[in-house]
Amino acid sequence: GGSASGSGGGSAGSTVGSTGGSAGSAAQPTENTATDETGSYDVLSVAVVLKQYIGEIADGLLPQDTVRDLMDVLNSGADDKNSIEAVKDALESLSVERYFTTVYILQLLAEVVRNSRLNRMDSYNLAMVWMPSLFGAVDTLDL
Q: What is the per-residue pLDDT across 4-40, written as a single tens digit (0 to 9) for each?
A: 433 333 333 433 333 333 334 444 555 555 555 666 6
Residue 94 confidence (pLDDT): 92
* Nearest alpha-carbon partner for 50 in 41, 39, 62: 41
State the Cα–Cα distance between residues 122 and 34, nearest whole angstrom.
24
Residue 64 backbone dihedrals phi, psi, to 5 degrees: -60, -35
Residue 16: Cβ within 10 Å count: 22
State the Cα–Cα distance between residues 125 and 116, nearest whole angstrom.
10
Which of 11-15, 55-59, 92-96, 109-113 bottoms out in mean pLDDT, i.e. has the lowest? 11-15
Residue 13 confidence (pLDDT): 40
Task: Write out pLDDT tens, residues 40-53.
Answer: 667 778 888 888 88
State the Cα–Cα distance between residues 27 and 123, nearest whole angstrom.
26
Task: Write out pLDDT tens, residues 52-87.
Answer: 888 888 778 898 899 899 889 889 888 888 888 988
